[in-house]
Chain A
Amino acid sequence: MRQLAEGLRLDVDWLDYTILALYFAVVLGIGFAARRSVRTSLDFFLAGRSLPAWVTGLAFVAANLGATEILGMAANGAQYGAYTVHWYWIGAIPAMVFLGLVMMPFYYGSKVHSVPEFLLHRFGPSSHLLSSVIFAVSSVLIAGVNLYAMAIVLQALLGWPQWVAIVVAGFFVLAYITLGGLSSAVYNEVLQFFVILAALIPLTVVGLKRVGGWHGLSSSLRHSRGDDFLSAWGGTGIGHGNPLGANWLTITLGLGFVLSFGYWTTNFAEVQRALSAKDLGAARRTPLIAAFPKLLIPLVVVLPGMIALVMEPALGRDGSGLAYNDAIPVLMRDLLPNGVLGLAVTGLLAAFMAGMAANVSSFNTVFTNDIWAAYVRKARPDAYYLATGRRVTAIGVLAGMGTAFIASSFSNIMNYLQTLFSFFNVPLFCVFILGMFWRRATPAAGFWGLLSGTVAAMLNYFWLYKQGVVAIPSDQGANFVSAIVAFAVGAVVTVAVSYATEPKPVESLAGFVYGTRSPEAAAPPAPGDPGDAVWYRRPALLGWGAVVLAAVCYVPFSL
């Protein structure tokens, strides 16, 4: 993270601020209105498990569509070109489909409140506490980093001092989550999804016109950056050099399998959206519905990044004053008149707030249920945990704001910490998948698998790669390799420790391992929505449809 260039100041007027102010008013309104439906802690933490699939599905994709993601993927588009689509089509869709088709019955069917709670029942307290604490700390940290990133962008675009941006956005997130809990967070995410599209689509349309359509864009990029810039797989043979610093094996295995499955299937900030769905059918459809917009998002994120590179060829070069991260702000400055410009600023701000809110609303759930209620203050009345959840939300937001202020003076440390925490999801996925499909996996194995996988990834990244013991061309490439290492080490350790220790009795695993049924599920299934039988709601069709579409999307970029 770095200062954005001074030259990015937008020419906003009263019209743009009206649009922004309206949005803030609606955000708060949703918080107040959602508050009336919050009676129990379940209402607060999981929206009473009442939401329809289209709401949770769009929230699922929006929780990931934070502004750091939008600016970062546009930056990748400008820096690496068409390789960036790997983060979407191979690095997200298969994992989202796997979550919906394979894992969701375990998550939703076992009625756990959180991803760590699943670990508690499947393995035991040690892995539960380890993952809860790491998740809680990393959520607050990421919320803070997000807030800081927003402060930099708002300073550059609108001239707001950093502390004003941090305090204002922090306050709004605090208000609407404390009031309405997850319902309010999810509703705001869905709204944000549409506002961000309303901002990005005009930007892309005008940008394409400016560079002469797709044809003009591709011929000018071919000319300046070579053919591989517009190809997803060109130059990814093992031993070939390419800007991404990764080959087809590390892309498919590291990004496509390990990193992506780790993120999409075990990151509670995502899974929580599905757990708030009204029934199992809706929960399974949540990531599947999300997969379809996710397929198309590169069109309005990666494409603008490439357009920005044509309009500002100096983007990302030393001395130009513009970093790759400035791709979208540059387009906003140069192409959007007042009105749509206000919409774009609102969309960006909404995306920052929603990204932070996703972290805060999952943090308060894990902290209250998995740390406080499980180990500190057990068996209190429900109202106590509801009140605790609200207090923890406030503490989480304040801690995030504190982190943002710290980040403004030590941004390198923050980058390291983020990398560090990113290595935790991979062994978590490894332990989950073994635990779900292999009854023999033991409580001790869960804990040691998590720990050893995380440590192995860190050793690989910070020692072997950063110290230059093995040569990997880029940070991205090193990330992919570290993830593969984490998965392999986690799997080997989990299996080895399992054979050396006692497994849990099979009865206690009912509903948590493939081939067992939870006692509740043995009863006749709750009457689901009778409409669920229609063909377009069938999970298998939605899931495989998304996978096929992702493969088709690759075709024009692979020839």
Chain B
Amino acid sequence: MRGNRKQRRLFDLRLVIGGLFAVYGVIVTAAGIAASDADLEKAQGININLWTGLGMLALGAFFLVWFRLRPQAPPPDPDAGER
């Protein structure tokens, strides 16, 4: 299928991972800030929601920054594709 039409490119996955982890990070961090004593006791005294949330925010930020700094390369010649 060697179309003359310019092939639609697949969207960038970094945006999806970055977005979802940013949202998850906010939710889980908020749960960590509002952690009850029972939550803390269950997790052996670690505020695990807070730490996990911050970790997810960091990962989300990493993907979003990577996406901003190195956008997808322009697609190669659409006719160069195989078949």
Interface positions of A (Cβ within 8 A of B):
15, 18-19, 22-23, 26, 29-30, 33-34, 36-37, 39-42, 47-51, 55, 111, 183, 187, 190-191, 194, 198, 201-202, 205-206, 209-210, 334-340, 343, 382, 526
Contacts and interface: CB of A to CB of B under 8 A. Distances in A.
Contact of A22 (B8, B13, B20): B20
Contact of A337 (B3, B43, B80): B43
Contact of A338 (B24, B31, B52, B83): B31
Given A39-B7, A40-B3, A205-B48, 14 more contacts: A15-B31, A19-B24, A23-B20, A37-B10, A39-B8, A41-B1, A42-B83, A47-B10, A206-B43, A206-B46, A209-B44, A339-B28, A339-B49, A343-B28
A49 B82 CA distance: 9
A187 B13 CA distance: 7
B67 to A, nearest CB: 13
Contact of B9 (A29, A37, A337): A37
Contacts of A191: 13, 16-17, 20
B65 interface: no
Contacts of A337: 31, 35, 38-40, 42-43, 48-49
9 contacts: A26-B20, A194-B21, A205-B51, A206-B44, A337-B42, A337-B49, A339-B39, A339-B49, A382-B1
Contacts of A36: 8
A22 B59 CA distance: 17
Nearest to B36: A337
B56 to A, nearest CB: 6
Contacts of A23: 20
Contacts of B45: 209
Contact of A339 (B9, B27, B59): B27
Interface string B30-68: 011001001110111110110111011001000000000
Contacts of B81: 42, 48-49
A337 B36 CA distance: 9
A198 B55 contact: yes
Contacts of B59: 194, 198
B82 to A, nearest CB: 6
Contacts, number: 116
A334 B48 CA distance: 13
B8 A340 contact: no
Which of B51, B52, B55, B83 has the most C-beta atoms of chain A within 10 angstroms of its own C-beta?
B52
A22 B42 contact: no
Contacts of B32: 339
Contacts of A22: 20, 23-24
A162 B23 CA distance: 30
B78 to A, nearest CB: 10
Contacts of A340: 28, 43, 48-49, 52
Contacts of A37: 7-11
B1 A39 contact: yes
Given A37-B10, A202-B51, A111 B82 contact: yes
Contacts of B1: 39-42, 382
Contacts of B21: 194, 198
A209 B43 CA distance: 9
Contacts of B10: 34, 37, 47-48, 50-51, 183
A545 to B, nearest CB: 23
Given A194-B59, A337-B48, A343 B7 contact: no
B46 to A, nearest CB: 6
Contacts of B53: 339
A326 to B, nearest CB: 18
Contacts of B80: 526
